[in-house]
Every structure is written in structure tokens, then in C-alpha cells.
Structure 1
Amino acid sequence: MKYLKLIRFQNLLLLAFMQLIFRYGFLKLQNIETALAHWQYALLVLSTVLIAAGGYVINDIFDQDTDEENKPEKVIVGKSVSETTAYYIYAGVTLVGVSIGFYLSNLIMRPGFASIFIMISALLYFYATNLKQMLLIGNLAVAFLLSFSVLIVGVFDIFPATADDNRRTMTLMFSILKDYAIFAFVINFIREIVKDMQDIQGDTSQGMSTLPITIGVKWTTKIVAVLLVISTVVLLIYVNAHLMVNELYYATIYALVLVVAPLLFCLVKVWNATSKADFSQLSKILKWIIFFGILSVLIVTLNINHNA
């Protein structure tokens, strides 16, 4: 169990679920011809999960002092798992993940795509060692990594299967994936700032330069509020333009209840948030917003099929 906690198995299951939803709850439900066979797509998911697991492990290795102050009850490296063992786990899962990516890239006749897995692994390492200490850079890096786990579905499953006769359809499918990737990026970026407010005490003692440390919690909550307002307005415009106009009423209700409403709750909550518990609650809600936002692609697809 300690090893599952080390690699954040719940987050990894969420990541795998997200990628499975985009293929089987979106592309396959619309009978889109994809590039990868089922077992090959399973390898893509496995590769992504392993590289993400490596990112969690290396982050815990370099965050031992900070975590000891911010969340001592959750510290694993140096307590239940030795630092040496953690390094072995990091190296093992990352190497296997990159190797699978190399294999898949050659399988679809795009060997250059292997560099994607190398760059993601490198970004995770540099985030743990340097980037997270820089103002907003670490937040942007984490948000980008989650959004790219959405885009990689299109890179490996849509792009290689695109030809002249299906280019219009495939471009539309990739564009929808891009929209979801942007959504995941923005909400996760906000969540990372909220987590920085939650961890401000330990981050300060470690000499980090997060946004709350640099400008204070009060101003950071105002920035988060502005970002939430912008996100909510844009999302409402998107729902109206793509769901309401096309009479996808079930999907519209789903989006309003499980995505927009929680965003509004976060907006109200952040104005009065001051304690670590407040920011922890906001972080959890934002995580669920990402989950339900991603799941909406299945609801939208089912609504489209129902109306057809």
C-alpha cells in the first residue's frame, strides 16, 4: 500500500480513466477510425501513467523537507520508503514508460514522436528540482502536463489515421480534444495556485517563490477569483455556442450543474478562504471539476447519438 501511495495511484487511475474516456466514450462512440489497436492504446495509457508515476516519485524525493512541514502525515519517502528505493522506482517506471513511447512511435511510423515522452519525463524532473521554486513556472508546467495528456490521444490516435478523405472529420475531433486540453490546463493552473496557498508555510521555510509568498495570500485569492470569473464566463459562452445551439440539452444541464455551478461555488468560497483547510477544500473541488469536465465528453457524445 505504501508504494501505491507513493505513486499516487488514485491520480493515476483518474489519468488512465480520462484517456480511456476520450477514446471509447468519444472517438469510438462516433465510429472514428483510429490509428492504434486496442492493445496498442492500452500501451499508450500505460506509458503515460508510468511517466506520471515517476513524476510523483521524484517530486516526493525532492520535497521531503517541505512535505514534512506541510503534510507530515503523508510523507512516505524517508519514512516508509527509503530514498534509495524511491530513486529505483522513479528510474524504473520512467524508463519503462519512455521505452513504451519509443515503441509506439515507431509502430505508427513516427519515430520522432518518441521525443515527446523524453521531454515530458525531463519536464517532470526539472519541475521537481527547479521549476516549482520559480514564480508561476511550476504551476504552468503542471497544468501543461495534464493538458498534454489529453492532446497525446490525438497525436497518437487521430493524427496518424488522418488522410485526405477524412481530414475534415479528424480535424474536428482534434479540435474538440484541444478544447478539453485548454479546459484542463486552465482549471489545473488555478488549482496549483490554490495548492500553493495551502502549502505556503512549508514553501516559505524552503525559500520558494510561489505566487502567495511573493504577493501575499490576500492578493493571490483575488487573482484566483478573477481567473475563476473568466473561466466561468468563457465556459458559459462555450456551452451556449456548442451545446444549447445544437439542442444538446442533457449535456447542457450536466455542464451547468457539475462544472459551472462548482466553479461559482469556488468563486464565492475563495473570497473568504484564509485557512489551510479552506484551500484544501477548494483544491479538492477544482479536482472534481476537472474530472466532471473531462467526463462531459461522454455525456455530449451520448446526447448527440440520442438526438441523431
Structure 2
Amino acid sequence: MNKFLAFTKLIRLKNLIMIALIQVLIKYTLINVYLDNFTLNNIRFSFYLIALILIVAAGYIINDIYDIETDKINKKENQIIGNSISSKSAFNYYYLLNFIGVLFGFYIALSIGKTAFGFIFIFFAFSLWRYSKQHKTSFATGNFQVAFLTALSIINLILFDLVPIRINNENGSLMISKIIMFYAGFSFITTLIREIVKDIEDLEGDQKINAKTLAITYGLKKSKNIVIGLTSATIICIAYFQYFQYSVISTQFEHEISIWGVNDISIIYTLFLQGLFLFFIYKTFKAINKEDFHLLSMLSKIIMLAGILSIPVFTLLHQN
């Protein structure tokens, strides 16, 4: 494997693209569509996105550095550090990406008059380092930490784009903030589910280094039940939103109500999302080996992507 390809795998380029896509969709199919005033113009948003992506990429690198021993078992021939890229080079990439990311972060914070917001990027970098160092020995703490950071990366758009203009009902920013918070919650729960699934997938290697992940502590069956429970809770939350959609639609023509995410096609889309979650539960019931849980991990990514894609879908339908 050549070094460039190895580097793209090391920083999880596909994951970074998804993270960037989420940010872009929220910015350009929600915030910019419905609000006249916002803080991040195209250049500022680009710098903000670069800062976020570089720090997350550094987080993936440090995670692989600390997982060298377990990856010898869990990834085998797909292990990057120690094969295609040396540990020394990996550390250099890690420090460089973090430095540039934090630098860009502070530049954006200064440019919007919120210097203290720059420390959010330092918090991201520190939290990703701490997760990488301790998640194999911290039971479920690491899972929640990654889920929280994923949600925070979305909430960040409220802080950097809306807080400086003052969030209120009059300019519509309060409603947009609530929608963003909803998707942050969705990202939190789907990321948490995926992190637990990944722990189950890595069970063999983690056991050999005496790790204390949730999957090792509770075992395969209980861990699967936790995944199913979290997924079921998410289905119930979406069902509640669907009930709201139906309730509004039933009175829409009488009262001429027009609400984002509420129309016939939006209901069909959320039913499709429910179908993905139900299929995920079915595959979790059937999962017994590493390959099955790897498939579940990929499926959880698809579900998250489908959920986030509802933003441009709902906006397009609402605008028309």
C-alpha cells in the first residue's frame, strides 16, 4: 500500500467526508435558507470546517497509535501504523494536524468576536486524545465521550453561526437552533450505538489485552440487548415525530399550517428511516461473528447518513 493511500485510511477519509457533509447540509440547506443573518460567511465557514476536520483526523491517528497492539489482532493485514506508516510519522501527523486545526479554530473565534470559542477546538483535541488513551479501559465512558463529541460538532454550528447574532424567536434562529439540537441528539444516539457495535466487533482482540469495554464487561448477549434497546428507543422517538407530522397534516388544509418536515413525503421518508432501524434490529438479533458486527457498523453509518439527508429533503419539500 502506498503512503498516500495509507494516510487516507489512517485518517478515515470516508468518515471525514461524512462529517463535512453533515456540517455543509446544516449550513447550506437549513441555516442559510431560513435565516437572513448569520455569522459564518463562505470563507469563515470553510476555515471552521477545516479546523474541525483536521482535529478529527488527528483524533483518528492517535486512536490508531494507542490501538497498535489490539489492531494486530482485530485488523491484522489492514493495520496501517507499523506497516505502511511508522509510529514516529504518525505522531508527527497527529501533532501537525492538531496544531493547524486549533490555529484555524482560534482564527475563526477571533474573527466572530468570540475568542473563548477557540478553546472548544482545544477541548476537542484533548478529548479525542483522552478517549484514545483510555477507552479500552474505561468501560462505556469512551463510547459516551465519542457520541458527545459527535453531537457537539453539530451544536458547534449554533455557537459559531447563530450565538453571535443573538438567538431569538423574532429572527427565526431559535427554531433553527432547536432543529439543529434535534439532529445533534440523533447523531449522539446513532454514534453511541455504533461505538458499542464496534466494541463487540473488536471483542477478540480486546479480550487478549484485558480491556474493559462494555462488550467485555457485559458479554455478547447483553451488549446486543443494549444495542437493540437503544435502537428501539430511537424508533419510539421517531414515531413520536411521525405522530406530530400526522396530527399537523390532518388539520393542515383547514388552518393552512406550513411546518418544516411536515407533509406526506416527509412522513414516507421517516417511515423509510424507521425501516432501516427495524432492519438494523433484525440484523443485530442474527449477528454472531465479527463479520456480522462489521456489517452492523456499516449499516449504522448508512442510517446516520439517511437521517442527516432528511435536512435537505425536508427543506426542499417545505420550500416548494
TM-score class, shorter-chain normalisation, is over 0.9
1:262 match: 276
- 1:240-262 residue CA offsets vs partner (Å, 9 max, x unmatched): 325762542222212221x2111
Separation in 1 of the partners of 2:281 and 2:7?
36
Give the SS at the match of 1:216. helix
1:194 aligned partner, one-letter code: V
Instruction: Structure 1: give runs of 5+ residues left out of the alignment.
Output: none
Separation in 1 of the partners of 2:278 and 2:146?
23
- 1:94-127 residue CA offsets vs partner (Å, 9 max, x unmatched): 1100111111111111111111111110000000
Q: CA RMSD in A?
A: 1.5
From 248, 252, 269, the counterpart of 2:267: 252
2:177 match: 174
Any conservation in 2 of the 1:70–1:201 contact (CA below 8 Å)? yes
CA gap 1:32/1:253 in 2 versus in 1, 3 angstroms: farther
Quick one: percent identity of the two aligned structures? 33
1:286 aligns with 2:290: no
1:106 match: 110
Normalised by the length of structure 2, the TM-score is: 0.91
Give the SS at the match of 1:208. coil
Any conservation in 1 of the 2:35–2:173 contact (CA below 8 Å)? no
1:183 match: 186
From 230, 234, 257, the counterpart of 1:231: 234
Give, in angstroms, the shift of residue 212 of structure 1: 1.4
Give, in angstroms, the shift of residue 168 of structure 1: 5.6
Separation in 2 of the partners of 1:70 and 1:167?
53
Q: How does 1:1-308 map to 2 (within 5 A)?
A: 1-162=5-166, 167=170, 169-242=172-245, 245=248, 246=259, 247-257=262-272, 259-306=273-320
Give the SS at the match of 1:79. coil
Any conservation in 1 of the 2:35–2:172 contact (CA below 8 Å)? no
Give the SS at the match of 1:130. helix
Moved over 6 A (4+): none
Any conservation in 1 of the 2:238–2:270 contact (CA below 8 Å)? no
- 1:152-197 residue CA offsets vs partner (Å, 9 max, x unmatched): 1111011112266x65611111111000000000011011101111
Any conservation in 2 of the 1:243–1:251 contact (CA below 8 Å)? no
Give, in angstroms, the shift of residue 132 of structure 1: 3.9
Any conservation in 2 of the 1:25–1:298 contact (CA below 8 Å)? yes
Any conservation in 1 of the 2:34–2:172 contact (CA below 8 Å)? no
1:111 aligned partner, one-letter code: T
Separation in 1 of the partners of 2:60 and 2:158?
25
CA gap 1:207/1:250 in 2 versus in 1, 3 angstroms: same
Separation in 2 of the partners of 1:89 and 1:68?
21
Any conservation in 1 of the 2:11–2:61 contact (CA below 8 Å)? yes
2:223 aligned partner, one-letter code: T
Any conservation in 2 of the 1:143–1:189 contact (CA below 8 Å)? yes
CA gap 1:152/1:53 in 2 versus in 1, 3 angstroms: same
2:253 match: none
Separation in 2 of the partners of 1:183 and 1:244?
22
Give the SS at the match of 2:39. coil
1:27 aligned partner, one-letter code: I
Separation in 1 of the partners of 2:39 and 2:280?
40
Q: Aligned pairs, how many?
A: 304
